[in-house]
Each structure stands twice: as structure tokens, then as C-alpha cells.
Amino acid sequence: MKELTKAEEEIMQILWKLEKGFVKDIIEQMPEPKPAYNTVSTIVRILEKKGFVGYTAFGKSHEYFPLVAEDKYKSFFLKNFMSGYFGGSFEKLVSFFAKDNNLDVKELDQLLRHVKDDLKEEDQPDGNDR
């Protein structure tokens, strides 16, 4: 998997939200000033070549959909980010985050409790395959 450019990631964020859509649908979700149709179309075709996007053809129109799940890309991106900036150390990342946001011990303890609760919820069988 390759890291996405800012423009590619913006398009993927929209496609993950929409689940599928035509270029015009993607553009409708973008903030003003909206980019040109050809610009978005080009980026979507690049995403297709990179293996992030597939499509269903309707005559000359294409309805695009993500081939890479958002969670898969988040995991990939975070691992690369941690590797590049924090030597792959989650501890260094959390330490940086805590210092940069002036978190006190109470706030860190709350954060740790939330993480533990989230992990417990993931471990609970809910009848869904993950």
C-alpha cells in the first residue's frame, strides 16, 4: 500500500463516507471553492491505478467505490507516521501528544481508561465477524 497525497486522501475520505459515487457526487461533498471536474476525475483515476478505487461502468460514466477499507488505510498511515516521527514507538507518540497538549495526570488517566474500555468492547463477542 502506498501513502496518499493530501488531494487523494481528501477524495478517499469522501468515497469512504459515500461508499460509492460518481465524480459529480464527490465534487458535491467538497468544500468551496470546488475543484474542476477534470481535476477530481484525474485524481480518482490515479487512485484507481494505485488500487484504492474500483468502479462500475454505466456507459461512459463510472461509479467509483473504495477498494481499500478506511480502517486498513488508517492503520497503514499511523504505522508509517509512527515509524517516521517516533521510531515506531507508541510510547513516544503518546508522550509527545501529552506534552504538546499539556495533559495532566488526571487527563492521561481518563484517556487510559477510555482506551481500556474500547479494548474490552472489541474483545466482547457481538455476533459480528471482524
- Residues 48, 98, single domain; the answer is no
Strand partners, 66: 53
Which residue, 17, 51, 66, sits at the end of a domain? 66
User: Model's pTM, two decimal places?
Assistant: 0.75
Residuewise pLDDT in 10s, the chain (130 residues): 888 999 999 999 999 999 999 999 999 999 999 999 999 999 999 999 999 999 999 999 999 999 999 999 999 998 888 899 889 888 888 888 888 888 888 888 888 888 888 888 877 765 554 4
Is residue 43 located within the same domain as residue 95? no
**Domain CATH number, residue 10:** 1.10.10.10
Give the C-alpha distances (Å, rounded to integers) separating 54 from 8, 59, 86, 124: 14, 16, 34, 33
Contact 17, 69 (CB under 8 A): no
113 occurs within a structural domain: yes
Spatial separation of the C-alpha atoms in residues 12 and 54, rounded to whole Å: 12
Q: Are residues 60 and 13 in the same domain?
A: yes
Which residues form the domain of 33? Answer: 6-66
Q: Rounded CA gap, 102 and 104, in Å?
A: 6
